[in-house]
Amino acid sequence: MASQEILREEPSRGSFINDPKIRSLFFQTLVVVLLFGSIWWIVHNVIDNLQRLHIASGFQFLRGRAGFDISDTPIAYTSDSTYGRALVVGLLNTAIVAVAGIITATIIGFIVGIGRLSQNWLIRKICTVYVEIFRNIPPLLVIFFWYSGVLAVLPPPRESFHLPFGSFLNQRGFYFPRAVWGDGAWLIFVAFVVALGMAWFVAHRARQRQMATGQQFPVFWTSVALIVGLPVLAFLLAGMPLTFDFPKQSTFNLTGGFLLKPEFLSLYMALSCYTAAFIAEIVRAGIRGVSRGQTEAAGALGLRSGPILRLVVVPQALRIVIPPLTSQYLNLTKNSSLAIAIGYPDLTATAGTVLNQTGQAVEGVLIMMIAYLVLSLVTSAVMNVVNARMALVER
């Protein structure tokens, strides 16, 4: 609007007011001045406020004694550990729940997404109902539902549900046998890594041979034999160094075994169920995005339905699926911060506790933000590599 009035007043071209370069320079200078002005004002206020509240700024507080307990500790931690270590524990917990959630959500999402395209009316409808329910309620509500609606009303330890493989389910969580690795267990791991390397090598050579001579090699079955066979062989050679520590029922509680607490379980289940609904939609859109002509052309070339899916449809569908899938993985990681609502000690929860105890609001929030930014960047970097391998290579 303003530009028009100026135009009418000074119709002569060449006036510097109408020069887009000068205008943009002026406007940007204004923005920079305003920005630095407000930053200066904010910094001034923060310093003022901190002095008034007698809070020392800086990151020295990270070395102080934390003095609070954390219920899930993947690494050694006591209340005597430092604040810094508490934050690391939180970060690890976030990473654990995010990775577990991403894997489960992807599996459920792919099953439901393919189910929505099924020929079968009933399966199609069941999958649609699943997607429409979970897409339209807040993730926090799903977490609460698992936590106080499902897991909290399970029977007490004495009346636990007995599940297969010696595992138990009760109010206090899910108990399952813990694998205890004996001496020489590292052999199995080494064998597994070696098998992976060999499988890759076989696949590489097989492709080269097929390119050169046209002869095919049963890569899939060879790889399965290698990846399963070598570790099993190592297991037998090392003298079967694996025993299980089964959970046992005592009078008031269960002892032994490995315990997944209800906080973790409900967060993990809720994030998986919730994100799976979105992944299902992405998968459906991806498969529908591959045009019918591709399938028909592949059929005309003489491929059977298995190779058509594997060589023609899935690679093209993945190309559509991967970018939105990445943002769903990021969403899941960010949604894991809802753990604070049920007391699972993830990064946000521990950082919140640290922040409350020390009063270091600025540093606490800064650490939280940077940690999530780094997690997000790492996830998108990994997915970008995958995407680059999948992307269409054009001239």
Partner 1 sequence: MQEHDTSWVRTEMALAEPAPLGERGAYAWVRKNLIASTGDTILTILGIAIVAWILPQVINWAFINAQWTGPNRTVCATVSQGGIQPDGWTGACWAFVNAKFGQFIFGTYPIEERWRPTLVAILFVALLVPMLIPRVPRKGLNAILLFLVLPVVSFFLLSGGAFGLPYVETSRWGGLLVTLSLSFVGIVVSLPLGTVLALGRRSKMPIVRLLCVIFIEFVRGIPLITVLFFASVMLPLFLPAGVTFDKFLRALIGVSLFAAAYMAEVVRGGLQAIPKGQYEGADSLGLGYWQKMGLIVLPQALKLVIPAIVNTFIGMFKDTSLVLIISIFDLLGVVKQNLSDANWATPQTARSGLVFAAFVFWLFCFGMSRYSMYTERRLDTGYKR
Q: Rounded distance, CA 181 to CA 344, Å?
A: 28
Q: Shortest gap between Cβ of 246 and partner 1 (angstroms)?
A: 29
Window 42 to 101, contacts with partner 1 (CB under 8 A): 42, 45-46, 48-50, 52
Q: Rounded distance, CA 66 to CA 85, Å?
A: 9
Q: Shortest gap between Cβ of 81 and partner 1 (angstroms)?
A: 23
Query: Going along 127-218, which residue ranges are E strands?
Result: 161-163, 167-170, 173-176, 178-181
Token pair recorded at residue 202: 């076989």
Q: Is 211 in the site for partner 1 (CB under 8 A)?
A: no
Give phi and psi for 167, each to the nearest 5: -105, 160
Answer for which of 107, 137, 180, 228 binds partner 1 (CB under 8 A) is 137
Applying CB under 8 A, the span of 1-9, 198-206, 260-268, 384-392 interacting with partner 1 comes to 1-9
Token pair recorded at residue 322: 């991967």
Q: Is 139 in the site for partner 1 (CB under 8 A)?
A: yes
Complex with partner 1: residue 118 or 216, whichever CB lies closer: 118
Q: Is 152 in the site for partner 1 (CB under 8 A)?
A: yes
Q: Is residue 279 within 8 Å of 114, Cβ to Cβ?
A: no
Q: Is 3 in the site for partner 1 (CB under 8 A)?
A: yes
Alpha helices (H) in 117-184, listed in sequence order: 121-135, 139-144
Q: Is 297 in the site for partner 1 (CB under 8 A)?
A: no
Q: Is 117 in the site for partner 1 (CB under 8 A)?
A: no
User: Could you tell me which residues come within 8 angstroms of residue 209 by beta carbon, excluding any fewer than 6 positions away?
Assistant: 215, 217
Applying CB under 8 A, the span of 179-187, 241-249, 294-302, 357-365 interacting with partner 1 comes to 357-365
Q: Is 258 in the site for partner 1 (CB under 8 A)?
A: no
Answer for which of 31, 179, 224, 301 binds partner 1 (CB under 8 A) is 31
Q: Is 120 in the site for partner 1 (CB under 8 A)?
A: yes
Q: Is 10 in the site for partner 1 (CB under 8 A)?
A: no
Token pair recorded at residue 72: 């899930």
Q: Shortest gap between Cβ of 35 and partner 1 (angstroms)?
A: 7
Q: Shortest gap between Cβ of 133 and partner 1 (angstroms)?
A: 7
- 3-class secondary structure per residue, 302-331: CCCHHHHHHHHHHHHHHHHHHHHHHHHHHH
Answer for which of 9, 58, 80, 121 binds partner 1 (CB under 8 A) is 121
Q: Shortest gap between Cβ of 46 and partner 1 (angstroms)?
A: 5
Q: Rounded distance, CA 94 to CA 98, Å?
A: 6
Torsion, Cα 130 134 137 138, to 10 degrees, reads 170
Q: At what angle do helices 314-335 and 83-115 cross, to 10 degrees?
A: 140
Residue with tokens 């699943």: 130
Answer for which of 15, 71, 79, 148 binds partner 1 (CB under 8 A) is 148
Answer for which of 95, 96, 99, 140 binds partner 1 (CB under 8 A) is 140
Q: Is residue 140 within 8 Å of 129, Cβ to Cβ?
A: no
Q: Is residue 110 within 8 Å of 283, Cβ to Cβ?
A: yes
For partner 1 (CB under 8 A), the number of binding residues is: 60
Applying CB under 8 A, the span of 199-207, 212-220, 244-252, 336-344 interacting with partner 1 comes to 336-344
Q: Is 384 in the site for partner 1 (CB under 8 A)?
A: no
Complex with partner 1: residue 64 or 324, whichever CB lies closer: 324
Q: Shortest gap between Cβ of 216 and partner 1 (angstroms)?
A: 27
Q: Rounded distance, CA 211 to CA 370, Å?
A: 47
Q: Is 161 helix (H, G, I), strand (E, B) or coil?
A: strand
Strand order in the sheet with 173-176: 161-163, 167-170, 173-176, 258-260
Q: Is residue 255 within 8 Å of 82, Cβ to Cβ?
A: no
Q: Shortest gap between Cβ of 148 and partner 1 (angstroms)?
A: 4
Complex with partner 1: residue 50 or 96, whichever CB lies closer: 50
Q: Which amino acid makes up residue 276?
A: A
Q: Which residues bind partner 1 (CB under 8 A)?
A: 1, 3-4, 7, 24, 27-28, 31-32, 35, 42, 45-46, 48-50, 52, 118-123, 126, 132-133, 135-141, 144-145, 148-150, 152-153, 330, 334-335, 337-338, 340-341, 348, 352, 355, 361-362, 364-365, 368-369, 372-373, 376-377
